Amino acid sequence: MRLILQPGTKIVVATHNPGKARELAEILENRFDLVTAGQLSLAEPDETETTFEGNALLKARAAAQASGLIALADDSGLSVQALGGAPGIYSARWAGETKDFGVAMARIEQDLRSSGASDLRAWFTCALAVAWPDGPAVVVEGRVAGNLTFPARGDRGFGYDPIFVPEGETQTFGEMEPARKDAMSHRSRAFAQLRAALL
């Protein structure tokens, strides 16, 4: 089986979030016939792996196996150097059931203060996995390095964007024009790799 995604291929996106599915469709330039795991009522697997790539692969495998379709999944998060890489794969979980990233950002600030560390380096990671049912899977990872800043600034983007200033920039991802953020984001870098590999 050649690892090529033909235009028009039906792909299940392993997310139950319609906004995320729409965003993925745009990134994929509407080249594919996308359905979501939510639309197909697929169960969401537990994210039991210890790495972004491992969890993206696990989610893509589960969706491909349950649907019989090629599946795309992502896993992403923020890693803070002075916190040993936390929250990392737990980035979404730190925001809790209500997805309150204000709480999660406050926790990072608090943990950094408690640790006494002055090192504010951090990086975002986005892992993407494409799995063929009963076949191979392709996994890529994009990263962007930067520094944290407190208090949070900007109401664009989502998640931890308002406390993250990419290297060489002065604005946080929360303040940046979407097109400017897209030009350097972990997610864009992961998709660029995936496109280069599979399209």
Binding mask 86-125 for a copy of itself (x = CB under 8 A): ----------------------------------------
* Number of Cβ atoms within 10 Å of the Cβ of 57: 22
Based on CB atoms, which residue is closest to a copy of itself, 53 or 111? Answer: 53
User: Is 155 noted as a catalytic residue in this protein?
Assistant: no
- Say if CB 143 and CB 123 are below 8 A apart: yes
Residue 173, classed as helix, strand or coil, is: coil
Site size toward a copy of itself, by CB under 8 A: 23
Determine, following the binding rule CB under 8 A, whether residue 58 of this chain makes contact with a copy of itself: yes
Element (H, E) at 108: helix 101-115
Give the one residue of 12, 21, 24, 61 binding a copy of itself; rule: CB under 8 A: 61
Read off the tokens for 102: 């204000």
Determine, following the binding rule CB under 8 A, whether residue 135 of this chain makes contact with a copy of itself: yes
Determine, following the binding rule CB under 8 A, whether residue 51 of this chain makes contact with a copy of itself: yes
Give the one residue of 23, 25, 53, 133 binding a copy of itself; rule: CB under 8 A: 53
Based on CB atoms, which residue is closest to a copy of itself, 59 or 172? Answer: 59
Shortest gap between Cβ of 142 and a copy of itself (angstroms)?
A: 10
Residues 58, 92: Cα–Cα separation, whole Å: 17
Q: Which of residues 2-21 bind a copy of itself (CB under 8 A)?
A: 2-3
Considering 75, 119, 134, 182, which one is annotated as catalytic?
75
Radius of gyration of the CA atoms of the chain, in A: 17
CB burial readout 63-93, b (16+ within 10 A) else e: bbebbebbbbbbbbbbbbebbebbbbbebbe
Distance of CA 164 to the CA centre of its chain: 15
Based on CB atoms, which residue is closest to a copy of itself, 102 or 135? Answer: 135
Residues 58, 173: Cα–Cα separation, whole Å: 28
First CA to last CA distance, the chain: 15
Shortest gap between Cβ of 27 and a copy of itself (angstroms)?
A: 17
- Which residues are annotated as catalytic? 75
Positions in the binding site for a copy of itself (CB under 8 A): 1-3, 48-51, 53-54, 57-58, 61, 135-140, 193-194, 196-198
